[in-house]
Every structure is written in C-alpha cells, then in structure tokens.
C-alpha cells in the first residue's frame, strides 16, 4: 500500500475552487481530504507540495489519432480531400509498428506535459500504441480504425477483436478497448452490421467519426435517405454505447437521437477550425444532457496535442458564432475538459476529485504572470492559463510528471526516436 | 558602440526560414548576417547562442488597454453592456496613476515573456504608462482615450496634447504617441472635429475603435445615415493616418474606404470571440492591400496578453467561419504577428530581420515536444508552438528576456504590486 498526500492545494470540486486543501491518495484512489490538524506527515510515502497550485481532475483528450504526430506540419493549408488523398493516405500505407510506437510515445509525452491523464485513440498498429500506453503510465481507450470500403476491411475486424481480447481492462485497468468503425462514408451497411454483431459479442462500445463535414452529411443523405446520425442509429451502432467525434453538422432530430441513445460527443474545435469543418452546436448538445468531452484529433490536423488549447477554443469560438457571450461559460469549458471527457470515454470513477475516484490528478502552477492579479480562478483557468502551467500529473495514483519533468519517459530519446522514425517513413515514400 | 551577435540561429526572412545563420547587431540596429567564416567572436560584446532557436521580427501587439490587467477575470461571461455599465466603468472611475503604473508593468512583463517587442495602447493616466514603457525597455505607441460624451472630454483633449508633447519620439525613440478618440458611439461630431484639428496641429496619427459590434454599426447608421467607417472618413479622422481596432462589421464599401485612406487594422480575434462581437473579414482586407496586425485588446476581454495565442486564433477561426481551409495560411498569420503589426503601428524600420532595421527580435526555443518531428517551420510556429517557447527578446538591440528570465524587470515585485494595487482599487469601490 502506497500513501501520497498533496498538501496545501487549491481544489476544483463541484464547479468551484477551495484553497488550502489536502488530498490523500492510497494506491490508485483518492481516499480523503484531511484537514491540516488531522494530517500526520510521516504516515505518507510521498508528500507533494501544492503551494500556489490548483488541483483538477486529470484532463481527458476524448479523440486522437496519436501516431499522426509523424505528420505534424507535413501538409497544412490544404483542402481536406486533397490533403487526405495526396498526402496522408499514401504516407499511412508505409506506417509500421516501429513508427507507431515511437510517435505514440511522443504524443503521450506531449499530452502528459499538457496535463492529460487519459485519451481516446483510433488508428493502426494498436498493439504498439497499447504497449506505449502500458509503459508510460497514461490511461487510454483504444480502437483499431475500421474502414469497410478498403482492402484492409477483413484484417481490421480480426485485429479489432484481438485488440479487445488482448488489451481490454489490461495495464492495471488503465487500458480499455472500443471498436472503431471509422465513419459513415468509409463503410458499407453489410460491414457495419458485422461491426455491430462483434460489439454485441464482445460487449464492446463504439468509437467513430460522425457528421464532421457538410459534404459528408449531404452525401450520406443522398445515398441512404437519412443523416449519418439517423443511419448509424438504424444500423444499431449506438446500442452498446458510442463515442462520436465531431458531430458538427447535426440538426435537432439528430440531437434528439443522440440524447435518447446516450451518444457521447468528442468536440474537437481545433481540428474543426483548421480543416474548415465548421462549428459543432455543443451548447444545444449540453442543453439536451448529451455528454461532451474535448479532443485534439490527430496532431496533423491541429497541430499539437494541447487539450487546454482545445478548452480555450471551446470557451471562445461558440460565443462569436452564436453572437451570444454567455453560450459556453468558463465553468462549462472546465467541465468538458475533465468530467465531460471522462464520461465520454465511459469511465465511471474518473473525472472528479472525490473519495473513491481514481487518483488521476493534474496540478496547475499559478505562478505565471497571466495568473495575476486574481479575481476568479475558473475564469483564469479557462481564459488566461496555458498548458505550460501544468506542473504535476498523476494517473492511477502514480506521478508521471513532477515539477514539469517526466518520471517514466526519457524525453530526449522520445524526440530522437520521433525524428528517426519520421525520416524512415518518408524515405520509404 | 555595443556589438551583439546571435549565432547559429534559424531566421525568418522573406516568408521562409533559413537555418544556421548569424545576426549582427550594432547598438539598436541589425547591421548584417555574417557567414560563419567571417565571424570574429572577440569582436562582440555579447554572443547569444541560437542553437535550436528560431529568430523572428519581434511580435507586435497592435491594440491593448494594458492597465486593464487589473480587471483580468474580474467579470467574465457577461453581456458587453452589462459588463461595461455595471462592472468596468464604475471601477475605472477609481483608477489612479499608482494602479496604472503597477498594472502596466505587469502587462509589459507578460507581453515580453510572450515575445512582444512593441504594443499600441489606449487608456488613462498615460504618463504612468509611458514611465513604465521607458523603464522596462519595451517599445510602445500610446494614446490617451478620448470620449466626447463624458465629463472628461475637455481634460482628455488637454492631456492628449500634453502626452504628445511630453513623450512622442522619447525613450530612445521607443515611444510614439497617437490621439485616441475612443469610438464613434462615445463621441460627437463637434468633439471629433476638434480631435482632427489637434491631429493636424501636432502631426499626430489616430488610434480608435471602429465597427466592433453589429449594434454599433446599426446605431451609427441610424444616427448619421452612414457606417462608422464612412462617418469617420467624412470627419477627416483618417487624414493624418489611422490605426483602427476591430473592424468586425465592415462591408465592401467600408473596405474600399479603408484601402483608399490607408487605414491600418488591429485584428483582435480573442476579444472578438470572447465578447461575441463576431469575425472580422481580414481575408478581404488583406486582399485589398489593407495592413492588418494582431492585438490582444485589454486583458479583461481576453484574458491574457499572449499575442501568439492571437496568431493561433487568427490562423484557425476564419477557416471555419468561411468554410475555406486556405483562407488564412500559416505564412499570413506569421506576417500579421510581425511585419503587419509593425506597419499597423506606423513603424518604418521595424518588422523585418533586415540590415538597417531596428534590432527588435524574438527568439523561439524549439526544444518543446510540439516541435517534433519537423516538416515545416512556419506551420509549426503558426499551428503548434506556444508563447512559453519564447526564450530571448531584444528591443532596440537590448536584451529584455534571456533564457526566459527578465533582465530589466523585478518580476516578483511586479506580481506583488499588481496584487497590492488591485486590492487598493477594489477596496475603494
């Protein structure tokens, strides 16, 4: 049994911040918030000084293709289909497990540095991604991307099942697995029926992309006579639980289906802006009780994995788009960054600083100039802070970042391996 | 004579980055880019190692109300008029020079830390702001805000003239002064005629707010039968040169006037988003050859003074708003951050890394994880970097930030003075 104390720290709980608190952690769980007079320092294996820090539930990156760090800045300022067809897809054909492992390690390190304690991912060579997750200590919900219209369709089904059997609930419970049918426009009804059958067989949830662009919605409506949301609902994709990325072009009928079927949304404002997809109506989703978390999407369409930047975008862009300065307040943005993301990934005991919850905790250093002077901590966090303020990160009670330094990752090796595997990949094109 | 060398650095010139270059600075100017074989290290008083760094023209914050740092996080998530009438204006009545000086120092420090080498400001107690600019070593273009409809109208005219006489071209030439008629909706035709007369008398340029909200444009059209831009043009406000903040709600006729009269624009995406003002059509401005720089606006409507965050917003939000991923490419965003801002402030020998230009230089440390792997430096800068990457800042050839530490500012004193004056101000309300 290991006991850790975070002492004298500001704590975000129940939408508000209380200063000068203590957090007790036993092994992987939060076990209490003792008052100063009840704290016996010698009873703890580790004491973390929270002076001038703010403790939050660990940030959740609800949608990523982590190994796409290899394409960071490779091809920007292009039309989406031009970018995919002429740059990304041809290069992805040359990926291998070595590249994916090295680039995943880079992405995990970047996410931890930005306060992220868990992420949802959909990509290829997911065994190598799972291995990096296991070694680094981060938490992840993994899916093998499945496209029914490509030659890899059969392999993808097989690998998805195997990924679930090999890794679901493994790595001290830090790894979960979902099935990842890529999107409506890359699949067929027959194939999606097989995905749904497999989901029922395994008891697996679904991670997919839905209604990302206006063009996608128009094409699916033309092809199937209904919206991507309505079509996926009809096919049963929502019946075992579903995490849907984007949901930019959804109408009121779509929102009703999503609310009724408990579809959870990964909102990716950075990607939606950069790829000119549009503005997802997350205020309407939240009004209907739909769970919304925040995601970066892959680094190639962002170009970083900074989830606090996504919070900043989420709290800002919808105000101008609706011409309503009250539409997404600071508190809502912080909720999406933490509890909303945790619920989107299907976690039940993550996303709050409460006794019995997993000790996934991010400590923000408030010594930066942008934290002065101080009136409202949530406003400062949502509108002024940046991810380089992140000082300490714990996942499952284990410290992964301390004083802005990594404890489980050799960061110089990670950078050089990222460069080596990039050079290897692009030499093979 | 002082000679400085920045050695072995990546340089951004003519829209592209060249690695392994040297920059020679003599006193306040860039005096050359010597090749390695021609460098005699002992000839320099200071040699700055640019290894893994990127040198850019110093960043320009083209619109600020710097002492509003005192209101950072004081009142967010409110309607604009509710915020102004019930929170900001009553509190501003209690400002004094002590508060403004301390809060200006905080803002200057925050801006230098984010790579900013010059800024345009409009506020009150501008003598105290000028003093902080002189002491800190930053460059600034200052205006005393003038509102013809308030009791301070006469004082403002008098103080504006005195500010110009006392400070224009002072502080080693780092300080310039403009006249600051606040906005169309806070002024009267008679008063604005007097401002224009004073501008001609002094040879002073104008810094103002124009067409920020839809409501402003509707009201001015109702009152004067023309748009704010057309009205200000008719009054002669553009005749001595004009820096106009916002310009969100401008139509094609407005843009034609702005182009013809060489109105320079401070685009403030963070403020326009947070206050739900809307999206300024900067792509149309740039198409017409209108100069566009970037600004944070005051910290109370942002809530930080991070100009790299404004670049990120500028490069992202217009894509989604126009549904065109090519509308503002990385290169354009970097140009607005540097040369566009310098031109907006009326500088002739600032904004480029060229022989004869002032040595206002920002060095970006590229060791952060988000800089790996590397394909395109401008894409990484525009889409992945953050202001905490700023390592070294020079203004007028003098180092103000070195290894992320301040050389001219006592930062702990700045923070405590910011808190002290905030407490004093709010105790007086």
Name the 3-class secondary structure at B248. Answer: coil
CA neighbor of B274 nearest in space, from B308, B241, B309, B243: B309
User: CA separation (Å) from A258 to A237, A255, A289, A413, B417?
Assistant: 11, 5, 10, 43, 51
- The reply to whether B186 and B243 lie within a common domain is yes
CA neighbor of B95 nearest in space, from B128, B117, B63, B118: B128
A297 belongs to an annotated ligand binding site: yes
Counting one residue from A and one from B, how many pairs have CB atoms under 8 Å apart? 206
pLDDT at B429: 86
Residue B173 lies in a domain: yes
User: CA separation (Å) from B291 to A415, B88, B183?
Assistant: 39, 31, 20
Structure tokens at B255: 């843009």
**What CATH number is attached to the domain comprising B154?**
3.20.20.140
Averaged pLDDT for residues A332-348: 98
Interchain CB contact of B353 with A (< 8 Å) = no
Q: What would the pLDDT profile of A395-422 be if each residue is shown by its tens digit?
A: 999 999 999 999 999 999 999 999 999 9
- Chain centroid to Cα B400, Å, comes to 17
Query: Which of B297, B319, B344 is the last residue in one of the domains?
Result: B344
* Of the partner residues A306, A317, A379, the one whose CB lies closest to the CB of residue B76: A379
Residue B385 lies in a domain: yes
CA neighbor of B261 nearest in space, from B314, B299, B208, B303: B208
Which residues, in sequence order, are CB contacts of A112 under 8 Å at separation 6+? A136, A138, A393, A400, A401, A406, A409
H helical segments located in A251-297: 252-260, 269-274, 282-287
- The reply to whether B196 and B317 lie within a common domain is yes
Query: Which of A302, A323, A344 is the last residue in one of the domains?
Result: A344
**pLDDT below 50 — which residues of chain B?**
none
A65 belongs to an annotated ligand binding site: yes
Name the 3-class secondary structure at A77. Answer: coil
A412 belongs to an annotated ligand binding site: no
Q: How far apart are CA A103 and CA A90, in angstroms?
A: 18
Averaged pLDDT for residues A24-43: 96
- How many other CB atoms are there within 10 angstroms of residue A33's CB atom? 17
- The reply to whether A332 and A310 lie within a common domain is yes
Percent of chain A topping pLDDT 70: 100
CA neighbor of B108 nearest in space, from B412, B411, B416: B411
Contact B22, B6 (CB under 8 A): yes
* Of the partner residues B79, B377, B379, the one whose CB lies closest to the CB of residue A325: B79
Q: How far is B405 from chain A (nearest CA, A)?
A: 12
Q: Which band of pLDDT confidence, cut at 50, 70 and 90, is reported for residue A343?
A: very high
- The reply to whether B305 and B187 lie within a common domain is yes
Structure tokens at B71: 């209101």
- The reply to whether B81 and B190 lie within a common domain is yes
A207 belongs to an annotated ligand binding site: no
Q: Which band of pLDDT confidence, cut at 50, 70 and 90, is reported for residue A79?
A: confident
H helical segments located in B180-241: 189-202, 214-224, 228-235
- The reply to whether B253 and B389 lie within a common domain is no
Contact B377, B364 (CB under 8 A): no
Mean pLDDT of chain A: 97
Which of residues B78 and A12 earns the better pLDDT score?
A12
pLDDT at B51: 97
Query: Which of B323, B344, B365 is the last residue in one of the domains?
Result: B344
- The reply to whether A261 and A364 lie within a common domain is no
Residue B361 lies in a domain: yes
* Tokens 């839809």 belong to residue: B214
Residue B118 lies in a domain: yes
Contact B303, B319 (CB under 8 A): no
* Of the partner residues A110, A329, A388, the one whose CB lies closest to the CB of residue B388: A388
User: Domain tally for chain B?
Assistant: 2
- The reply to whether A72 and A205 lie within a common domain is yes
- The reply to whether B214 and B287 lie within a common domain is yes
Residue A425 lies in a domain: no
User: CA separation (Å) from B122 to A336, B150, B207, B233, B346?
Assistant: 36, 16, 8, 21, 15
Domain that holds residue A192: 59-344
The interface residues of chain A toward chain B in range 298-327, judged by CB-CB distance below 8 A, are 299, 302-306, 309, 312-313, 316-317, 319-327
B51 belongs to an annotated ligand binding site: no
Q: Do A384 and B304 touch (CB under 8 A)?
A: yes
Q: Do B317 and A376 touch (CB under 8 A)?
A: no
- The reply to whether A298 and A158 lie within a common domain is yes
Residue B426, Cβ density class (10 Å: 0-12 exposed, 13-18 middle, ≥19 buried): middle
CB < 8 Å to A323, chain B: 214, 276, 278
- The reply to whether A312 and A176 lie within a common domain is yes
pLDDT at A199: 98
Q: Do B73 and A418 touch (CB under 8 A)?
A: no
Residue A302 lies in a domain: yes
**What CATH number is attached to the domain comprising A12?**
2.30.40.10
The interface residues of chain A toward chain B in range 358-387, judged by CB-CB distance below 8 A, are 369-370, 372-377, 379-380, 383-384, 386-387
CA neighbor of A22 nearest in space, from A10, A14, A12: A10
Residue A423 lies in a domain: no
Residue A81 lies in a domain: yes
B92 belongs to an annotated ligand binding site: yes
The interface residues of chain A toward chain B in range 20-39, judged by CB-CB distance below 8 A, are none
Q: What would the pLDDT profile of A119-162 be if each residue is shown by its tens digit?
A: 999 999 999 999 999 999 999 999 999 999 999 999 999 999 99
Q: How far apart are CA A213 and CA A275, in angstroms?
A: 9
Which residues, in sequence order, are CB contacts of B223 under 8 Å at separation 6+? none
* Of the partner residues B103, B278, B373, the one whose CB lies closest to the CB of residue A422: B373
pLDDT at B82: 87
- The reply to whether B267 and B366 lie within a common domain is no
- The DSSP string of B55-95 is EEEPEEEEEE-GGGGGGTTTS-SS-HHHHIIIIIHHHHTT-
B318 belongs to an annotated ligand binding site: no
* Tokens 């990039």 belong to residue: A422
**Chain B CA closest to residue A326:** B77
Q: What would the pLDDT profile of A227-284 be if each residue is shown by its tens digit?
A: 999 999 999 999 999 999 999 999 999 999 999 999 999 999 999 999 999 999 999 9
CB < 8 Å to B325, chain A: 77-80, 274-276
Q: Which band of pLDDT confidence, cut at 50, 70 and 90, is reported for residue A210?
A: very high
């Amino acid at each position: 049994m290991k006991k850790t104390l975070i002492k004298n720290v500001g704590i975000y709980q129940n939408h508000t911040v209380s200063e000068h608190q203590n957090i007790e952690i036993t092994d992987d769980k939060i076990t209490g918030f003792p008052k100063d007079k009840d704290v016996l320092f010698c009873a703890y294996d580790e004491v973390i000084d929270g002076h001038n820090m703010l403790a939050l539930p660990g940030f959740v990156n609800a949608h990523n293709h982590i190994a796409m760090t290899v394409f960071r800045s490779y091809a920007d300022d292009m039309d989406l289909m031009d970018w995919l067809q002429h740059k990304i897809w041809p290069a992805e054909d040359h990926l291998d497990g070595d590249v994916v492992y090295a680039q995943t390690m880079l992405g995990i390190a970047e996410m931890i540095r930005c306060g992220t304690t868990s992420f949802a991912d959909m990509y290829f060579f997911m065994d190598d991604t799972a291995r990096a997750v296991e070694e680094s200590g981060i938490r992840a919900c993994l899916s093998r991307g499945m496209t029914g219209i490509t030659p890899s369709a059969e392999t993808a089904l097989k690998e998805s099942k195997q990924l679930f059997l090999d890794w679901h609930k493994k790595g001290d419970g830090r790894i979960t697995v979902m099935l990842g049918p890529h999107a409506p426009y890359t699949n067929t009804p027959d194939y999606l029926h097989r995905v749904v059958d497999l989901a029922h067989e395994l008891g697996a949830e679904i991670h997919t992309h839905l209604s990302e662009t206006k063009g996608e919605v128009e094409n699916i409506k033309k092809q199937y006579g209904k919206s991507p949301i309505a079509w996926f609902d009809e096919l049963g994709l929502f019946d075992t639980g579903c995490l849907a990325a984007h949901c930019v072009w959804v109408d009121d009928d779509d929102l009703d289906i999503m609310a009724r079927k408990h579809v959870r949304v990964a909102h990716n404002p950075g990607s939606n802006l950069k790829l000119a997809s549009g503005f997802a109506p997350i205020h309407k989703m939240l009004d209907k009780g739909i769970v919304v978390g925040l995601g970066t999407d892959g680094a190639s369409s962002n170009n970083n994995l900074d989830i606090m930047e996504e919070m900043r975008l989420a709290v800002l862009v919808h105000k101008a788009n609706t011409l309503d300065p009250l539409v997404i307040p600071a508190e809502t943005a912080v909720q999406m960054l933490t509890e909303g993301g945790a619920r989107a990934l299907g976690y039940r005991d993550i996303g709050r600083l409460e006794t019995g919850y997993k000790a996934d905790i991010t400590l923000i250093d408030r010594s930066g100039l942008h934290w002065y002077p101080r009136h409202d901590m949530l406003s400062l966090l949502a509108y002024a802070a940046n991810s380089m303020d992140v000082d300490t990160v714990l996942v499952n009670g284990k410290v992964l970042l301390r004083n802005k330094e990594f404890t489980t990752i050799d960061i110089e090796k990670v950078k050089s391996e990222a460069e080596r595997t990039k050079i290897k990949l692009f030499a093979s094109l």
